[in-house]
């Protein structure tokens, strides 16, 4: 990736760089100097942390987000007008049954997280800023919901795969092209 674009990788819900789904964050950090912040579980706190990080970056920025991190990247892309490449994003995560399964024993926290997520859902006014990459065999999410939600955005829909978005490294040239602004005229 071009050295002039600072990449920020946004991980999924309650994720870490040690998980299989975040190996792409490690790869982006090692190969391209991407920033890979560990985000708080609470959505509004996560967005505040990301806003503060982005405010401190001089020059062009590109986002890569995965799962719930794809939702956060959508928010930041649309509110700040910056490019984002997102893999297997969660559309409308406040409706997600995955959160309910993860937080079944913490109903008050689940309600708060769902409320916060509904607050930060942006309209997609700059669809050219988003590259949505989906794998049909995502075991956690129904890719068709993302196809519909991101219908005006550039999409790559692949047979097979998994929620972690297998073979991400093979798609780095496309991600690079998008984040460098080549698709934004």
Q: Rounded to an integer, what distance in angstroms lies between the CA atom of residue 165 and that of residue 90?
A: 13
Beta-ladder partners of 87: 66, 133
**For residue 97, what pLDDT is reported?**
82
* Pick from 6-10, 21-25, 70-74, 114-118: least confident: 21-25
Give the residue-averaged pLDDT of 157-166: 92
CB atoms within 10 A of CB 150: 21
Instruction: Please state the pTM of the whole predicted model.
Output: 0.91
Q: Which domains does the chain have, with CATH numbers?
A: 6-179 (3.40.50.1820)
- Residues in CB range of 91: below 8 A, 6 or more apart: 71, 145, 146, 148, 149, 150
* pLDDT tens profile 54-77: 999 999 999 999 999 999 999 999
Q: Rounded to an integer, what distance in angstroms lies between the CA atom of residue 181 and that of residue 84?
A: 10
Q: Are strands 84-87 and 61-66 parallel, antiparallel or unpaired?
A: parallel
* pLDDT tens profile 4-19: 899 999 988 766 444 5
* pLDDT tens profile 119-142: 999 899 999 999 999 999 999 889
**For residue 184, what pLDDT is reported?**
45
Q: Rounded to an integer, what distance in angstroms lies between the CA atom of residue 98 and that of residue 111?
A: 13
């Amino acid at each position: 990736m071009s050295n002039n674009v600072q990449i920020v990788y946004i991980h999924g819900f309650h994720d870490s760089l040690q998980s299989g789904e975040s190996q792409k964050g490690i790869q982006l950090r090692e190969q391209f100097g991407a920033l890979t912040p560990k985000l708080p579980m609470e959505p509004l706190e996560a967005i505040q942390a990301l806003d503060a990080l982005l405010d401190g970056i001089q020059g062009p920025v590109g986002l890569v987000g995965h799962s719930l991190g794809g939702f956060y990247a959508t928010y930041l892309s649309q509110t700040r007008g910056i490019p984002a490449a997102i893999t297997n994003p969660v559309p409308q995560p406040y409706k997600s049954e995955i959160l309910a399964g993860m937080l079944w024993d913490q109903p008050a926290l689940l309600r708060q997280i769902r409320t916060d997520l509904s607050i930060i859902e942006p309209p997609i006014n700059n669809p050219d800023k988003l590259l949505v990459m989906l794998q049909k065999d995502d075991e956690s999410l129904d890719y068709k919901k993302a196809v519909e939600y991101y219908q005006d955005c550039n999409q790559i829909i692949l047979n097979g795969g998994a929620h972690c978005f297998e073979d991400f490294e093979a798609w780095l040239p496309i991600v690079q092209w998008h984040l460098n602004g080549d698709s934004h005229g």
